[in-house]
Structure formats: C-alpha cells, structure tokens
Structure 1
Amino acid sequence: MFGSLGIYNYRLYASGQIISLIGVWMQRVAQDWLVLELTNGSPVALGIAASLQFLPVLLLSMWGGVLADRSDKRKLLLWLESALGICALALGLLDVTGVVELWHVFVLCFLLGCFSAVETPVRQSFVVEMVGRDSLTNAVAINSMMFNLARIVGPAIAGVTIVAIGTGWVFLANAISFVGVVLGIYLMRTSQLLRADPVPREKGQLLSGLRYVRHRPDLLTVMLLVFFIATFGMNFYMTLAILARNVFGGDADAYGLLSTLIAVGTFAGATWATRRRTPRMSVFIGSGVLFGLLEIISGMMPTMLLTGLMMIPVGIAMMTFNSTANATVQLAVEPEMRGRVMGIYMLVFLGGNPIGGPLMGWLGEINGRAPIIVGGIVSVVVTATAWIILVRRGDIARPRWRKRPSEAKAEGEARGDGEAELPLAKKRTGGVGPVTSRG
C-alpha cells in the first residue's frame, strides 16, 4: 500500500503535502463560515464565493496543462505553491485585524482560484516524474489517502478553532502550512527525477489536447459524467454548511462534524482504491448511481446525526467514482498528452462550479435540503442514462476496459486471430502501462 513512500523525492513531497492539505481544508471551512458570518447566513453569497474560486478553472486549467507539458514542473510548482500561501496569508491578516469585508473574500477567492487552476494539472502530472511508471498507480492512491485524511483532520480542527479564536487564525495557519510543501519540493534530489522531455512550444497545442479527447469515446464518456456529477452532486463545501446552519441550527463545529464524517467515507474509499489495479466501467457507473441515491437519502434525514452518519457511505461512493474516473483517464492517455488531458479533466471536474454554485445557492434559499436532494437526482439520472447506453453497446455486459487474462486469451483463440481483446487503455497506449495522477 505504501511502496511509493520508499522513493526519497516522493517521501519529501508527501510529507509536505499532508501538512499543506490539512491547512487547505481548514481554510475551506473557515472561508465558508466567514462568508456566512459577513452576510448573515446567505447561501447565495456562499455560492458566489465558490463560483469566484472555481471560475478561473474555466479559463486557466487547460493552459496549466499546456505549461505542464512545456515546463520544468518542479520549478513551476515552487512558485505556484508560494503564491497559494500568500493568498491565505493576506486573508488571515485582513480577518485578524478586523478589517475584512465580503469583497476582500471574493477577490482573494478569485486569486486563489487562478493559482489553483494552473497548479493542479502541473502537480498531478509531476507525480510520474517523482516515482516513475511502475509506482505511479500506488502514488496516486496514496495522494488520495492523504487528501481524504486531511478532509477528516482539517475540518475538525477548523470547527474547534473557529469557535475558540475565530476564522482569521485558521487562514494564518494555512499560510504557514504551505512552508512544508514548498520546502519538500525545494529539497528534492533533481538527479533522481524521471523527467519527461518537454513538449516544444508550438501553435495549437491547446486545441490539439481538445481534439485528442474529442476523438476518444472512452475519455469523452468519463469526462461528461464527471462534469454533471461534480457540478450538481458534489457541492458539499456549500450544501453541508447550509444544512448545518440553516436546517439544523448548528454552529461552525456542526459544519466541521458533517465535513469530517463525509471525509471518513472518502478516506475509506481511497484506501480501498489502493487495492485496485485497473478501472472497470461497471464500477465507475455503479458507484455514480449509488452516490446519487445515497445523496438523496441523506438530504431527507430528519436529524443532523442521521445526516452525518449517511455522509460516510456517501463519501465511499463518491471516492470510488472519482478514483475510478481518474485512473481510467490516466491509464488511457499518452505521456506527451498527460498535462493537457489532466488540464481538461480538471476543467470538467471543477469548472462546473460557477454554474452549480449559484444554482445550488438559489435552491438553498428556497429550501435548505433542496441542493443536496436535487444534486442526487441529477447524479442518478445522468449516470443511469449512461448505463443504459453502455449496456446497449455491450460495454457493461462485455467490458472492453478490463478482462481477465484467461478470458482475453480464450477470446483470441476462439476468434483464431491470436490477438486477445485487451483493455481499452492498453490498446490506446500500445501496452506501455499505467499513466496516472491528487484524488
């Protein structure tokens, strides 16, 4: 499970990353709570803040992928992680000095989103340079475990800290946490990095990435489902805050508790993912339907305790869906396209938030339970529709994405052509093997 940690550079990266991720999750809780405090509990303002933070993904994530393919990823990450820390520092200083206003939060949300939109595809495509192809799948699973462990620890600490000393100190703590990840990247042994040759600067590289995905039905199917479910079903940064404060009348610690319980589920799902070697379309589709159904049920729970308990299986289903989608995309992509494809993936994963955030906020004004229930309904409908289409095409009954070696060999012998029906990802990459990416 932890084989990648035996690699010096990845061990440095993981050590700094877990500290930084805890700080990031602390800031997410504190930022949402600060917006609610400044607006007397307005879900619309919360949706606007989320939209401003995710809007740059629409504009910059694909360019971040182009930069990742062209540049020295380690040096680029040093600058980007430092910029993220400065944004947290600025918000913390404004808050603890008592001068923070809503527009300050909105501006810093936008700046944070700009840097994050570029940083994410660069960081994800840098993992393979630290660990190599053979350890890549394991490293991606460990990244997901760290991310979700931070989701458990960060919101819990943030909830207690906000009640005790206020939101400003949480932002400052997050700023300090970035020192760990910057130091880890700086201290890496560059001679041990397995760097890919940078792609020469040419015109049309962004469009070539889009054309690559458009002509790949496997990638296109996954990305469309990820877009709809992430946009409408995975708005927990907002829906849980609305449930905690406006439905159940709780405080910041109640929001932190709900966030922690869903993180327990996602951590369990990420741990399970370390045991899977290849993605299966049936698991991807099935987990999407299950996620939607569980989300609908959780939105109907009469008490906060029952809602919180439902968040655990919701988190497991969500992480199973996300990790399968991520692995499917990266196992199927050629190395020279990795950065651009991951930029597009992050666009569809996060880029819908400027649409989903305000819409879910508007629904929250009408009824505090509506956003989470409607999100579950959308998830079920789009995934079930995809399931029907794939069954008719035979991709579920006879999966093209994964077959047991004995089954594949038997099919090849039965056809008499000596060629087994290989997993789709391996066909596309010429049998090179896994090409994967933070959960």
Structure 2
Amino acid sequence: MAASPGSRVRSTALRLAVSSVRRVPAGVRFPLQRDGVDPVPRLEASRAGGDVVRLARLLGTRVWLVTGYDAARAVLADHDAFANDVRGLIGRQDRAPAERIGGLGMTDPPDHERLRRVLTPYFTRRRLTELQDDVDRVVAAALDDMAAHGPEVDLVARFGFAVPFGVICDLLGMPAVDRDEFRRRGAARFDLTAGSARLFDTAAGTRQFLIDLVSAERRSPHLPEGLLARMVAEHGADLDDVELGGLADGVFLGGYETSASMLSLGTWVLLQHPAAWATLRRGEPAEVDRVVEELLRFVCPVQVAFPRVARHEVRVGEQRVRAGDVVVVSLTGAGRDPARHTDASRFDPTTASAGTLAFGHGLHRCVGAELARMELRTALVALARRFPDLALACDPADLRFTELAIVHGVEALPVRLG
C-alpha cells in the first residue's frame, strides 16, 4: 500500500529534524547519561512504568524505551517485527557517500547477510587464534610505554586507547603513516553534546578516509596484509568502495572506541575491587572469564542499541507498539535489570552469568564480540600482573566522564604504577 501524502510529509520532516538536531532535548537525555558507571537515577526510576515506557513523541512518531532484559532481548532478536534500516529517519542519503548512514548496524536482510558474510570469515575462532600474538605484542608495547612514562600516567591515553587502536589498525592492515590521521578522525564519533548533526559530520570524516584507502588499494594494491587489502582482493568485484569502506568503518567503530572505554572504565571498577584484581593476577581462565563477563554487564559502555522501527503492530512487554514507532533498547538498563540480577547495582564476578547484551543480540550482534573478549582478557590480565599495585592517582570526585554519549567513557584516569 502506498504511503499517504501526509505520512510522506511527516517522514520527511522527521528525517530532517533528527539529522539536523543541534541539541538533544533534556527530557530524552537520560538513557545516554551515567553517574560514573551507574545508570542515572531517572533511568532506574523509569522502571516504575514497566520494562517498556514511552520516551518521547517526535512529529507524531512515538519513541519507546526498553530497559528490561527479557524485553530487550526479544526486540533485538526479532528482525521480522523490527527494521534496523532507519536511514530514512536519521540519515542524509541525498548527501555525499561518506555522509550517508549505513553499514551492518542499519541494514536489513537480504543486504545485511550479504555484507555480514564478507566480515564473518575474519572473526572465526581460527582467525582469532592467529591474532593472539598480535594482541600480546600490542599490549606489551602499551605496558612498556606506561612504565617509561611513570610513575604516574593517564591510563586512558596510554593503555585504554592505545591497546584497541593498535589491535584494530593491525587487523585492518592500516599503514603506519596513516595511523595518526586515522586516530584524529576517529575522535568524537559518539559524543552527542553538540547534537546529532555534529556526530554525522564527524563520522563522515572517518568514513571518507577509509573509502579513500579502499579506492587507492583497488587502483594499486599496496596495503600491508590485513582486512582492508583482503576485502578489496576477495570482494572488490562485488562491492563498491563505499560499501567496503563502510564495512571497514564498522569494524573500526565497534573495535576501537568501545573497547577503549571498556578497558579504561573496567580498570577503574577493578581498582575498587581488590579480590577481582587478584583474580586477574592469578590468570585462571575460568575465573578471568567470569570477571570479564561481569565487567561487560556492569560497565556496558555502549548505552543504547541501534534504534529499531516497528514494521507492524507488535506487543513489547506490556506495551502495544504500532507500525512506524521507534524502539530504543537501553543496554545499560538491560544489564542492570533487577528482575535478572539479585543485586544488579553490585559488581560481583562470582555471580556472573552468560547472556550479556553488551554486544547486542540476534542478527545484529557485534561481529567482533569474541575479538573484544580476547582483547579484554589479554590486556587486563597483563596489566594486573605487570602493575599489581596499580592505584588511582587522583580524588575519584575529580574524574570526568562523558556527559552525553552513545558510548560512555572517562576522559582521563590518572594512575600510580606502584
């Protein structure tokens, strides 16, 4: 059935409104805010209305917020009822290729399967085993750098960001000459303090950088062995430069900023829990896995999943969601759901359980989830063993966290190496 003129006008107006927002309205900020690593009180208070509550109404479109674990898992898994392709609402598809929103996170079947099949072979268990030596080398270099600049260093800059940036550049096969520029362009990808318009502009810079690398590789192969070169060689005939650059951008997006925040915030949590820190020093695999899983639940730096649009009327929790409604899943809220965890506000690796939604769930679960886990295990164990007496070097009250961001983080974490 064709859309009515009124619905087309509303859709166009909504798209323009969302893509040009200069300031996120105060009333809908709380899912993107934290108190340290904890949800802000307003997010927790929203549970009084149930696992699913109406967050806002924007130009006639209802926006729902999901905080309950079971409801969140159901929404994330149901690609028949919910579409991820919200580019008509938030993208600027009439602009230059690098400014368009896409990639795996905002693509529905069959395009999603076509694109995901390109990446999946690079994240198999066998491929990850081959990457372990590279991860070990990057972690060791970061620890040496910390030691060289001690006795007090900023763990965010010298470890939290250094490790995942080195790993992701090695994975992509990023030439050494391009890495500083790549890092500069990757900043502020998730910061919403200046609204969505700046976020789109910042993302376009990184995406264009990768599109240009793909184009250069297609014209004259020169990149070191890595994901970028392999994608061009193996899939260049089927995918254009924008699609390949977008996939590489997704790998960067999912593997850099999120892991950087996880390492930095995770270390801050661990320094407050000596027993867990000691567990990492022992390095027993099963115990380390429980610490990592609990950190993923407790910290969960990715605050919300990609928004979904209801394809048809569907019941989510106790709410009736209509076709065209937007549904936002709070991964922070799902991880702290008291219905699933007896004491959800407490960090306790002894009660860690499988099933974290920190990487999403279902069709759109992060393709690099196991690489992220391997990176966390390797980096945190090595940090605890190299600097067993690591301690915070400032008043905790002086720490500055991101104020409004899709990926939560801490700006700096001064530590004494001991």
- Fold in common (TM above 0.5): no
Which TM-score applies when normalising by structure 2? 0.30
More strand by share: 2
Which TM-score applies when normalising by structure 1? 0.29
More helix by share: 1
